[in-house]
Every structure is written in structure tokens, then in C-alpha cells.
Structure 1
Amino acid sequence: MRVPATSANLGPGFDTLGLALSMYDELVATELAPGMLEIDVTGEGTGDVPRDASNLVVRAVARGFAAAGRPMPGLRLEAHNVIPHGRGLGSSAAAVVAGLLVAKGLLEGDVALGDDRLLALATEMEGHPDNVAPALFGGLTIAWGEESGPQHKKLIVHRGVSPVVFVPESQMSTSVARSLQPLQVPREDAVFNVSRSALLIAALTQSPELLRAATEDKLHQGYRAQAMPETDRLVRALRGAGFAAVVSGAGPSVLVLADGPGRRVEAAQVMASIAESPWEAHMLAVDVKGGTVREYAEGST
């Protein structure tokens, strides 16, 4: 199976908007005898990711089986991680979604875990639906909560939108980033973000030329800037050069929603001209499928 990276908030859409990107963690899961657990990790997080029951993927598998009222089987997990950890690209959401999709696949034919149930379980584990919704379903997602649980709406992004992500070596804790935000904001700032969030939906689905104006934000990026000075400097430089640049998720990565492939190269040139430490540029597409599962027969490649 594979699960895409995600970028949440997208500027004004705090805790609401998310975008699936064509960068993937891949996982092969094999059912073993009860009580057995084998984990092999390559790529991102090698040597750091737990290889026991505390592993986030394993915990998500266990949560899926518990929700289905079935005992947890033994597992062998072979994970190849590409999504950077602690960089605002949804690595933990991808792990949660991967584990729940493992549970769904292993339970197939016995207990069905539908989309609504998967979203509820993933949100319960991750805390917010804005990253897990696009990881599950792909595309641009609007996520919100109701008494019945988290909800989402998937939208198709205009083909002229061309994402590029700039990823630094440093990491940022989501909890630290959230602690920098005030509990209350001025009414005019709230109204500002409501208008920009509405405009952003139009820009992403119909009018990419409006992306720069639509990605302005007054709710979270400014408050977090002190913890990510290089990120803030890069966002300001890119926006000053006319790009729709935002902090990706909780940061410190920067997402640029360019209005054409050629503009991504120009954005990378701006980044290279001001970067004081190494940043990697990833020219990506919008993923439209979300997490996908394929069954492997024994002995197949």
C-alpha cells in the first residue's frame, strides 16, 4: 500500500483544509501468528522509528481491529518511508492512515471499515481531520466536525495548480507550534481568514491566478514565525516575489502553490538565492487517490 504526504492549513484554512501530494510512504503488511511482530523500516526515520508495539502504524492497526471487535493478529511490516518526519508534511497522519488501511485490508470479508469509520478513527488518533482526510481520500479536502463525527468533502484541484515543497533539515513539533498561538484573535482577523478561505477554494478549483491573494493568513503563521525564522523569511521572500507561499502544516516546510510548472522553477531560484542552510525542493503533483491498497499473493513481486 502507499499513502501520500499532505499539507494542511494552506494558509488561511487552519485545521480545515488539506491537500494530498505525490510523495508517498509505502508499506507491505503480512499477517503472522498471534503475538508475533516484525518491523523493518527503510528511508525516513530509519533507526528512530520504534520497532515494537509503540510503533504508530502498529497502534493504528490495533485501533482498527479493536473498533471491529476482533483480536489483533501478528504482523510483519516492511515500511519504506519517504515523507520527511517533523516537517509539516503529514508523516504521522500517513502512518495512522497506513495502519488503519492495513486493518481494513486484513478484515475484509469479515468486518467492513467504511470511509466514515476510517476518518473517525484516524481523527481520533491524530487529533485533527485536516491531514488524515487528504491522506485517506486524496485531492483537496475540506474537513469539519459534527455531533456524529468528523466529516469531509473532497474537491478536484485545477490542473493549472503546480505544488512545490521546500523542506529544511530542521524539524518542528506540532505541539510547540500550536502553543505559540493565542486562544483568542481579533474579530477582523477572523473575518479576514474566513474571506481568504472561501477565496482559496475558488482559486484551487477554478482560478489559480487568485492563489497568492487567497493564501493570505492572520490566524497562525505570524504567531509561529518566531519559532521558525528561516521559514518565515522564505515565505516572505516568495510572497514578495509574487508566489502563493505558505507554511506547510505546522512547518517548517514551505509549500508554494504555483500557477504553472514553470513558475515552480522560478520559486526554487528564489529559495536558492536566500537560503542560509540546506533546503530540498520537491516538485510534486496533487495526489487524487489518497491511500491505496493492493493485495499481494504469496510469492508475487
Structure 2
Amino acid sequence: MTQAPLPQVGRTATFTVRAPASSANLGPGFDSLGLSLPLYTTLRVTPQASTEVVPLGHGLSSTPANESNYVYQAMLLAARRAGRPLPPARIEIESEVPLARGLGSSAAALIAGIVAGNELLGRPLDHAAVLDVAAREEGHPDNVAPALFGGIVVATLDKLGTHYVRLDPPAHLGVTVLVPDFELSTSKARAVLPREYSRADAVHALSHAALLAAALSVGRLDLLRHAMQDYIHQVWRAPLVPGLSDILESAHEHGALGAALSGAGPTVLCFHDTRSDTGRLHTYLHGVMTRSGLTGQVMDLPIDLAGTVVACPVEA
């Protein structure tokens, strides 16, 4: 998380908070592994005598323009953890993160709101506390940790706290995402998961999650295809995402280093080597959408390294 110094005058000046999208799980790292992507939710916060919540842009047109807005509720979470009332402000909200697509739109809003509330209060919460508040609200840290810190993050949540390790991405590791033009709620995607797993599936998940974290930490791009195999959630969610099984099985034949469902979906993530052309992979992914009767977009993205950024806009 990057912060620029704010004026020490009681937070009377406008400031901005920018939080990135994220992709969670990456295959076997269920609820514990994620990375940050450069699509942003941005808040412009101006302290004033009364509270206003102003969602901007077509993508947020269905979100509440009042204190029930998720961003404002996230700001209140910071105030509750700090044990202080939240000062009133005008909060303008913009977002590039598509809703209900498995790209961490709720996590970006949550982190942006908690950080904004913390700023209004004079930063009583440190980074560890901000992460813990967010992870406990979400129920897992896989999206909120990379949204806060950037890069690739392995994180756990237990009764003692939220614990994480942030990794810089390996050299030459890029991301290609297929974002279909339909929404899939996290609750629906979680509802299809079994309540119990076999010992064999548990061992498979543990070993592959460990291998994936190790491969990412030392830059073994050749291992990603094998390490990203998963039996915990992707096999159960595949019927909800047409074409997913095809991509998981065959994307490596078209230039992908590995493939996974992004979060709860329906977005699908492929890793690629930035030294190689991704045209063949794009053609393949568009073909999968066409055969599945879907529309959407395919994008190459770097991994965001900055995480959440706080700054004071410079007025012209």
C-alpha cells in the first residue's frame, strides 16, 4: 500500500484513494492466494459538514447513493475498529472493476472504503489492522490482501489475526484475462461446492497450493501449468462457466503458462510469458467464447505492484 503525505490540518483537504482489482485462488490457492490487477476503484473524499455518497459512471448506476453504499459501510468499519466516530465527507466513487466477474470488485470497494475511513480519522489503524478488518468482513483474505499491498500475496485468516507474505511477480510473468459478458455472484459459485472433501483431494490441494506458491516465489514459470491444477472448487464451478473446462485442459497448448478460474468467476485467468506474443492465446480464448455462445473481452494485463494508493490531488 502506497501513501503520499496528507496535509496535517485535520483532514480538511480532499484526498483520493485508489484500490486495484484482484484475482483470487489461482487454481489451488483457495481463499488464500491472489494477485493485484491494474483496474481501479477510486474514491475522492472531501471532508465537509454533512455526508454525501456519489457513485459515478454507468457501472455504478445501480449502487446506492446514500450511507448504505458498501464503500461508506466499509469506512464505518475503520471507525469501529478505531473506536471513533467517522467524520462527515463527500465521497465520490468511480470504478473500472466489472461487478460480479471474479475480479475482486467488492474487495476493491471494501479496501478503498476502509483506507478512506482511516485517512479521515488521521490513520489510527496500521496496515496490519486495515487488512484484518477487511479479511474478517470478507471472510477470507485472498482478494483484499493483494488489493491492499499489490503484487502476489499468500495470506491466512485465523482467530489470532491475518497473516500474509507479499511476493513480487517473477520476471516476464504476465496475465491474460477472459471477461465474459455475464455476471456470476460469489454466493451462487460457493453454493455449488461440496461440504466435505476426500483425503486425496485435500492432499492434492495442499501439495499443489504449496508448489504454486514456491514456483511463483522463485520464478519457475515452467511449473505453473502443473501447480495450478485444482479439485477443490474449479471442477464444481465449471458447469456455471461455459468453456472453463476446455480452457483449463487446453490453454497451455495455445501459449498459456497455466490457467485458472479468477475468484468465483466467470472471468478466467491465464498466465503468459511477456517475451512471447499472445495472439495465439487470444484467438483460442475468443474461439472458446464463440463455441460456448458467449461474448466478452480478452485483455493482457501486468500485475499491479502498488496496491492501494492514497494521494492529495493537485488542483489546476
TM-score (norm 2): 0.88
Which residue, 76, 83, 89 being the options, matches 2:97? Answer: 83
Count of aligned pairs between the two proteins? 295
Match of 2:304 in 1: 287
Shift of residue 242 of structure 1? 5.7
Match of 2:313 in 1: 296
Q: How many angstroms apart in 2 are the aligned matches of 1:220 and 1:160?
A: 28
Shift of residue 23 of structure 1? 1.6
Match of 1:44 in 2: 59
Contact 2:149 2:306 (C-alpha < 8 Å) held by counterparts: yes
Contact 1:200 1:214 (C-alpha < 8 Å) held by counterparts: yes
Contact 2:184 2:265 (C-alpha < 8 Å) held by counterparts: yes
Q: Equivalent pairs: percent with the same residue?
A: 37
Structure 1 residues 32-73: Cα deviation after superposition (integer angstroms, max 9, x where no partner): 214x3231322522x211111111100011111122122122
Which residue, 221, 225, 235 being the options, matches 2:238? Answer: 225
After TM superposition, the structure 1 = structure 2 runs for residues 238-257 of structure 1, keeping only pairs within 5 Å, are 238-239=251-252, 241=254, 243=256, 244-257=258-271
Match of 1:56 in 2: 70
Q: How many angstroms apart in 2 are the aligned matches of 1:77 and 1:163?
A: 32
Shift >3 Å, 4+ stretches: 230-237, 239-242
Q: How many angstroms apart in 2 are the aligned matches of 1:43 and 1:231?
A: 28
Shift of residue 272 of structure 1? 1.6
Which residue, 175, 178, 184 being the options, matches 1:166? Answer: 178
Shift of residue 11 of structure 1? 0.3
Shift of residue 201 of structure 1? 1.6
Q: How many angstroms apart in 1 are the aligned matches of 2:242 and 2:287?
A: 16
Q: How many angstroms apart in 1 are the aligned matches of 2:182 and 2:36?
A: 22
Q: How many angstroms apart in 2 are the aligned matches of 1:246 and 1:265?
A: 19
Per the alignment, in what secondary structure is the counterpart of residue 29 of structure 1? strand
Identify unmatched segments of 5+ residues in structure 2.
1-16
Per the alignment, in what secondary structure is the counterpart of residue 170 of structure 1? coil
Shift of residue 80 of structure 1? 1.8
Per the alignment, in what secondary structure is the counterpart of residue 232 of structure 2? coil
Structure 1 residues 174-210: Cα deviation after superposition (integer angstroms, max 9, x where no partner): 1111111111111111111212112212322321121
Q: How many angstroms apart in 2 are the aligned matches of 1:145 and 1:272?
A: 37
CA RMSD of aligned residues (A): 1.7
Q: How many angstroms apart in 2 are the aligned matches of 1:88 and 1:39?
A: 24
Per the alignment, in what secondary structure is the counterpart of residue 31 of structure 2? strand
Per the alignment, in what secondary structure is the counterpart of residue 193 of structure 2? coil
Q: How many angstroms apart in 1 are the aligned matches of 2:21 and 2:197?
A: 30
Q: Pick closer, same or farther for the CA change 1:220–1:38 going to 2, 3 Å.
A: closer
Match of 2:106 in 1: 92
After TM superposition, the structure 1 = structure 2 runs for residues 201-220 of structure 1, keeping only pairs within 5 Å, are 201-205=213-217, 206-220=219-233
Per the alignment, in what secondary structure is the counterpart of residue 19 of structure 1? strand
Identify unmatched segments of 5+ residues in structure 1.
none
Per the alignment, in what secondary structure is the counterpart of residue 76 of structure 2? helix
1:273 aligns with 2:300: no
Per the alignment, in what secondary structure is the counterpart of residue 7 of structure 1? strand
Q: How many angstroms apart in 2 are the aligned matches of 1:177 and 1:5?
A: 19
Match of 2:21 in 1: 5
Shift of residue 239 of structure 1? 4.3
Q: How many angstroms apart in 2 are the aligned matches of 1:261 and 1:283?
A: 13
